[in-house]
Homo-oligomer: A and B are copies of this chain.
Amino acid sequence: MPLEYRFRARPYDEALKSALQAFPQKAAYELVPASEALGRRIAEDIQAPFDMPRKNIAFYDGYAVRYEDTRGATASNPVKLLLVGSVLKDGEEIGLRVGRGEAVYLATSSPLPEGADAIVREEFTLRQGDYVLIKKEVELYEDVILRGEDARKGDVLISRGSVIRPQDQVLLLEIGLTRVKVYREPTIGIASVGDELLERFEKGIPYPDNYFFLVSSTLQLIGCKTVSIGILRDDPDEIVGFISKNISHYDALALIGGTARGVRDYTGMSVEKIGEVIFHATTLSPGKVSGVCKVDGKPVFLVPGHIGSATSCICNIIMPIISKIYYDGIGLLPKVLAKLTMPIEARPGLYTFRTVILEWGNDGLRATPHLKRLGGSTLITILSKAGGYILIPPGVKLSSGEIVEVTLLNPLEVFSWKLS
């Protein structure tokens, strides 16, 4: 069968730029309970709605006093103050006042009554009927958190684009935000292409398309929902029909396999019949036969079937496009700085995707490029040992000892770090 579809390897930078220009930003948002926002990307700057804390508050359970009244107090020579009130657990009693020679019992986080300017912790005191013995001298504002000490009204507490962590949930609830605006996660429909996959499926082999999980799980970890929507034959009509039928149900489609120059690689030429091939084949190594198409205004990603190429396509093509459209261009994968342990350079004329092993040493984080199959690999264990990657533009040589920006292959990599 003649190969009708024409390849032209467009320079990666230009190809990616075209693809980014082809899709306008259209991030969507949803309001979710702060309690369920863990791990989501926040879509708004969160500002302090008031000074935090709003008033001077007690840092410990103890007695609110005038610090001058405690002068000279010791365990053996305590100062005796009149107890004029008591506020338990974060409470406030309006009208309470601490005058000279007086004290009020406060639970942690309760606002200081008027007149009080220090807290004597409970362990340095002894109750005696209506009085309390103070056994320690305290300073002005000792164990007091001052109004606005934590944040001033209007300060940005959480920046747009941040991933919400446990402490951010607490912060949101503390300022009364029980619901928070987060980016809606786009849903990507993923299909694998290949007669041999279908044969495996028909033989009852579970998971005939292993690389599905590489694409699917990685996209899940950076904020996408993914759906497995089938295995397609190497048949242009079937591919065209499949895309036409599914494109309206998903925010984007990804087709794994069938993108190369082989005699049965049809995805690119198929998409051409129903949409626009923005590029297919680019100066990215591995990942050269990646492609980006536009059908009904949505991206259809052509993902090569090699594991190294597929990874490169996910990191260097799919992610920036997903980020532009659905995440306002936020970087979706974590980055680190690391010292290269050996020189590496780009392959001639190619943006070269190199996976690296990351190891912590006393000189910091070290990045060691994989020796085998430099530039890309079908070797699955290499990807398993990899922690991150570097994309080296053509003509660029990196020296041993140079500090380079390494992008983690996924956020779970952080769990695999071992300190030497």
A interface residues with partner B (beta carbon < 8 Å): 34-35, 38-39, 52, 59, 61, 88-91, 105, 107-109, 122-123, 145, 149-151, 155, 157-158, 162-171, 173-174, 178, 194-196, 206-207, 210-211, 213-214, 216-218, 220-221, 234, 260-264, 305-307, 311, 334-337, 339, 360-365, 372-373, 378-384, 386, 403, 405, 408-417, 419
Do residues B173 and A213 form an inter-chain contact, with CB atoms below 8 A?
yes
Do residues A417 and B336 form an inter-chain contact, with CB atoms below 8 A?
yes
Do residues B384 and A171 form an inter-chain contact, with CB atoms below 8 A?
yes
Q: How far is the CB of A412 from chain B (nearest CB, A)?
A: 5
Q: Which B-chain residue is minimally distant from A173 (CB atoms)? A: B210
Give the most central of A169, A305, A383, A412: most B CB within 10 Å. Answer: A412
Do residues B306 and A108 form an inter-chain contact, with CB atoms below 8 A?
yes
A-B contacts, 25 of them at CB < 8 A, read A38-B213, A38-B221, A38-B412, A39-B412, A61-B261, A88-B263, A107-B262, A107-B264, A108-B260, A108-B306, A122-B261, A145-B379, A150-B380, A163-B415, A163-B416, A165-B409, A165-B413, A166-B217, A171-B380, A335-B417, A335-B419, A336-B360, A339-B364, A364-B364, A408-B414
A165–B206 Cα distance when bound, in Å, is 19
Give the most central of A108, A109, A217, A382: most B CB within 10 Å. Answer: A217
| B residues near A34, Cβ cutoff 8 Å | 207, 213
| B residues near A145, Cβ cutoff 8 Å | 373, 378-379
Q: Which B-chain residue is minimally distant from A416 (CB atoms)? A: B162
Do residues B337 and A360 form an inter-chain contact, with CB atoms below 8 A?
yes
Do residues B335 and A170 form an inter-chain contact, with CB atoms below 8 A?
no
Q: How far is the CB of A64 from chain B (nearest CB, A)?
A: 14
Do residues A415 and B384 form an inter-chain contact, with CB atoms below 8 A?
no
A408–B381 Cα distance when bound, in Å, is 27
| B residues near A206, Cβ cutoff 8 Å | 178
| B residues near A214, Cβ cutoff 8 Å | 166-167, 169-170
A169–B412 Cα distance when bound, in Å, is 13
From known contacts A213-B35, A337-B364, infer whether A379 and B150 are also in contact, taking CB-CB under 8 Å: yes
| Number of this chain's copies in the complex | 2
Q: Which B-chain residue is minimally distant from A197 (CB atoms)? A: B89
| B residues near A195, Cβ cutoff 8 Å | 88-89
A416–B158 Cα distance when bound, in Å, is 11
From known contacts A305-B108, A334-B415, A337-B364, infer whether A166 and B410 are also in contact, taking CB-CB under 8 Å: yes
Do residues A384 and B90 form an inter-chain contact, with CB atoms below 8 A?
no
Q: How far is the CB of A309 from chain B (nearest CB, A)?
A: 10
| B residues near A123, Cβ cutoff 8 Å | 261
From known contacts A89-B264, A166-B221, infer whether A411 and B410 are also in contact, taking CB-CB under 8 Å: no
A108–B376 Cα distance when bound, in Å, is 14
Q: Which B-chain residue is minimally distant from A219 (CB atoms)? A: B166
A163–B217 Cα distance when bound, in Å, is 13
| B residues near A122, Cβ cutoff 8 Å | 261-262
A365–B335 Cα distance when bound, in Å, is 12
| B residues near A384, Cβ cutoff 8 Å | 157-158, 165, 167-168, 171
A59–B298 Cα distance when bound, in Å, is 32
Q: How far is the CB of A381 from chain B (nearest CB, A)?
A: 5
A-B pairs, 7 with minimum CB distance? A364-B364, A166-B217, A163-B415, A89-B196, A169-B213, A61-B262, A173-B210
A380–B170 Cα distance when bound, in Å, is 8
From known contacts A207-B34, A365-B365, A412-B39, infer whether A383 and B167 are also in contact, taking CB-CB under 8 Å: yes
Q: How far is the CB of A203 from chain B (nearest CB, A)?
A: 13
Do residues A307 and B170 form an inter-chain contact, with CB atoms below 8 A?
yes
| B residues near A361, Cβ cutoff 8 Å | 337
Do residues A171 and B89 form an inter-chain contact, with CB atoms below 8 A?
no
